[in-house]
Amino acid sequence: MSHHDFHHLTDGNARIALVDDTASHTYGEVNSRIDRFATGLLGNRSDLEEERIAFFLPASLDYVTCMHGVWRAGGISVPLNVASAVAELDHYLSSAKVTRMFAQAGAPNELRELCASLGIELLTVEEMLAEAPGDLPEIDPGRRAMMLFTSGTTSKPKGTVSTHKTIRAQITTLIDAWCWTEDDVIPLFLPLHHIHGIVNILSCGLWAGATVHLFAGLDIPKVTSQVAAGVYNVFMAVPTVYVKLIQYLETRDEKEVAAVCAGFKAMRLNISGSAACPVKLFEQWRDLTGQVLLERYGMTEIGMGISNPYHGERRAGYVGQPLPGVEVQLFDESHRPVEGEGNPGEIRIKGDNVFLEYWGNEEATRKSFVDGWFCSGDMAVIEDGYYRIMGRTSVDIIKSGGYKLSALEIEGVLLTHEEIAEVAVIGAEDEVWGEAVTAFVVTKSGDELDFAELKSWCNERMSSYKIPKHVKRLDALPRNAMGKVTKPSLKSIPL
Ligand code: MCA
Ligand code: AMP
């Protein structure tokens, strides 16, 4: 991706790019700030040469400045989850070998100490802005551009590296498929350390010359009042957000509900993704707002892969067809292509949209590709020309509110609790979260654990959304003849 690709980001462009709590920022203003930041980052170097630069920033002008500034200066952007526990940040920063990190002024002491202990310079965007923009390097599209951490079935989250070319392919595919224009206005309340927020909303918006309204998090009263005021014409969210919107509207008076629903109805597009959208939710949303949700399928490693059509039938319970430029093929366990309708197989993907590598982990990268196809770990079937996602090949991946979580990572933390002898974590079906993190524990004393105490113990060690929603003590974990915990059997134990 070259700086010229985001062709609305040019000096003097008076269109509004970003709207935050306090101000609107034009494309011209954002562009010159990015150039000054990139220049400041470079200092007297001519190219950052893939230096890893992290940022711990909510959705903001600073965030956009960092992301694009690092890209323009030839570095690798490492946007971090602002809800991370310090223990998690330690892993991200040290495995990526980050050298500089940007945060808001007045960063918490814990963060300062962590950066100091890792030899990372902790800075603000403001202090890095050069007086005036200087020369910036030409970046080859094959170079690394961004690293996002994703949970896997084994050990700690892996840094998924995409190149400028990857990101460009991911964006341009969606601009065409979902008919983005510069007249679009979209709210962004999803976190900015994942593809959904970064590529589908923020980057597509800025590429198209549209206006993106930035929120620090999901503020339902604020978003719905703006929807009612007719501010947005495109809306993208995870299924949990649609569930929460419906629940919220159930508590509001008729007049407000009518205004919010009319606001949604008038939009050109509502999208759901990152986790399965239940048919019931699709129907509830259609009945309430008249919007037929466009469901699509994606992954950190591939961006978006499969999408229901913008024009044409959007089918409830299905994710549609492969996006242009994305090759999709189902395979059986012996790596043979599964042909024809009604035959399930693992989704494998090829295309410019596919990531380059897991950072510093050649083995994991090698294992995730077979014959050049990226293996998603998701099972699907084609019915009547539409792909339907059937589930994952691993029980150790949990999708909660759109976040991909590793059961093993959570188990690893819980096992360090002095009272816990054995633990098995699963995702239990849940109406709000899709899957709710659920821990089955065997305690050393045989006594119950105090849930509130466990929660605060967890709080220091993991992001709050990873903390189990249910904890159930068992006398022993169910195991097969080999001694392996039979996780599927845990799913039927009443909580
Ligand atoms: C918040 N909580 C959660 C989650 N989010 N618990 C489980 N799972 C979650 N996802 C808990 C908090 O720990 C807290 O618990 C309580 O809910 C309130 O937290 P708050 O942050 O206020 O919640 P919220 O604002 O209502 O957040 C819900 C959310 C958020 C907006 C749905 O989870 C979210 O932004 N999810 C989207 C993640 C995402 O973008 N995924 C895309 C990655 P307590 O009160 O006990 O402390 S996937 C991707 O990018 C691929 C490519 C794709 O296909 O899109
Ligand atoms: P992540 O690695 O966080 O980007 O999450 C990617 C995973 O989310 C995929 O491998 C799927 O398991 C899941 N996912 C994304 N979109 C959908 C969808 N529309 N339906 C079902 N699962 C989905």
pLDDT of residue 153: 73
pLDDT category at 5 given cuts 50, 70, 90 is confident
Q: 321-322 and 327-331: which strand pairing?
A: unpaired
CA–CA gap between residue 375 and residue 208 (Å, rounded):
31
Alpha helices in 81-134 (DSSP H): 86-96, 109-118, 125-128
Q: Which of 149, 346, 399 to mutate to test the pocket of ligand 2 (most atoms within 8 A of CB)?
A: 399
pLDDT of residue 356: 98
Strand partners of residue 429: 435
Per DSSP, 194 falls in state S
CA–CA gap between residue 291 and residue 202 (Å, rounded):
22
Q: What whole-number percentage of the chain has pLDDT above 90?
A: 94
CA–CA gap between residue 231 and residue 304 (Å, rounded):
26
Per DSSP, 273 falls in state -
CA-based nearest residue to 212, from 365, 423, 2, 16 = 16
Ligand 2 near 304 CB (within 6 A): no
Pair of tokens at residue 350? 């090829």
Q: For tokens 């808001």, what's the residue?
A: 104
Q: How far lies 468's CA from each of 397, 403, 408, 486, in Å?
A: 14, 14, 13, 19
For residue 435, give the 3-state DSSP assignment: strand
Per DSSP, 107 falls in state -
Q: Which of 193, 378, 387, 400 to mutate to test the pocket of ligand 2 (most atoms within 8 A of CB)?
A: 378
CA–CA gap between residue 375 and residue 348 (Å, rounded):
5
278-316 pLDDT tens trace = 999 999 999 999 999 999 999 999 999 999 999 999 999
318 and 387 in contact (C-beta within 8 Å)?
yes
404 and 216 in contact (C-beta within 8 Å)?
no
Alpha helices in 178-331 (DSSP H): 195, 204-208, 220-228, 239-249, 254-265, 279-289
Number of CB atoms found within 10 A of residue 144's CB: 20
The answer to whether residue 489 scores a pLDDT higher than 80 is: yes
No. of H helices and E strands in the chain?
16, 26
Ligand 2 near 376 CB (within 6 A): yes
pLDDT category at 1 given cuts 50, 70, 90 is low
How many residues are given for the chain? Answer: 495
Ligand 2 near 62 CB (within 6 A): no
Nearest CA to ligand 1 atom 1: 465
328-340 pLDDT tens trace = 999 999 999 999 9
pLDDT of residue 296: 98
Nearest CA to ligand 1 atom 11: 465
pLDDT of residue 476: 96
Ligand 1 pocket (Cβ < 6 Å) reads 190-191, 194-197, 217-218, 238, 240-241, 244, 273-274, 298-300, 400-403, 433, 464-465
User: How many angstroms separate the first and last alpha carbons of the chain?
Assistant: 49
214-230 pLDDT tens trace = 999 999 999 999 999 99
To which H or E segment does residue 172 belong?
Answer: helix 164-177
Pair of tokens at residue 191? 């976190």
Contacts for 261 with CB less than 8 Å, ≥ 6 apart: 249, 288, 289, 290
225-255 pLDDT tens trace = 999 999 999 999 999 999 999 999 999 999 9
Contacts for 326 with CB less than 8 Å, ≥ 6 apart: 173, 302, 304, 305, 306, 349, 350, 351, 353
Q: For the residues of 130-141, what is the DSSP string, one character each?
A: -SS--------T
167-191 pLDDT tens trace = 999 999 999 999 999 999 999 999 9
pLDDT of residue 322: 98
54-109 pLDDT tens trace = 999 999 999 999 999 999 999 999 999 999 988 899 999 999 999 999 999 999 99
pLDDT of residue 2: 63
Ligand 2 near 392 CB (within 6 A): yes
pLDDT category at 3 given cuts 50, 70, 90 is low
Q: Taking the C-alpha atoms of 445, 451, 456 and 457 in order, what is their torsion angle to the nearest 10 degrees? A: 20
78 and 55 in contact (C-beta within 8 Å)?
yes
**Predicted TM-score (pTM) above 0.85:** yes
CA-based nearest residue to 397, from 79, 81, 150 = 150
Q: What is the mean pLDDT of the chain?
A: 96
Ligand 2 near 314 CB (within 6 A): no
Ligand 2 near 404 CB (within 6 A): yes
pLDDT of residue 233: 98
Calculate the CA 355 to chain-centre distance: 15
CA-based nearest residue to 488, from 429, 432, 446 = 429
CA–CA gap between residue 315 and residue 137 (Å, rounded):
46
Ligand 2 near 378 CB (within 6 A): yes
pLDDT of residue 152: 79
Mean pLDDT of the region 123-136: 98
Mean pLDDT of the region 369-395: 96
Q: Which of 277, 297, 314 to mutate to test the pocket of ligand 2 (most atoms within 8 A of CB)?
A: 297
pLDDT of residue 350: 98
Q: For tokens 């409830």, what's the residue?
A: 316
Between these two residues, 3 and 440, which has the higher pLDDT value? Answer: 440
Q: Which of 374, 437, 465, 469 to mutate to test the pocket of ligand 1 (most atoms within 8 A of CB)?
A: 465
Ligand 2 near 319 CB (within 6 A): yes
Ligand 2 near 346 CB (within 6 A): no
What's the CA-to-centroid distance between 307 and ligand 2, angstroms?
A: 12
Amino acid at 410: I
pLDDT of residue 165: 98
Q: What whole-number percentage of the chain has pLDDT above 70?
A: 99
What's the CA-to-centroid distance between 62 and ligand 2, angstroms?
A: 29
pLDDT category at 193 given cuts 50, 70, 90 is very high
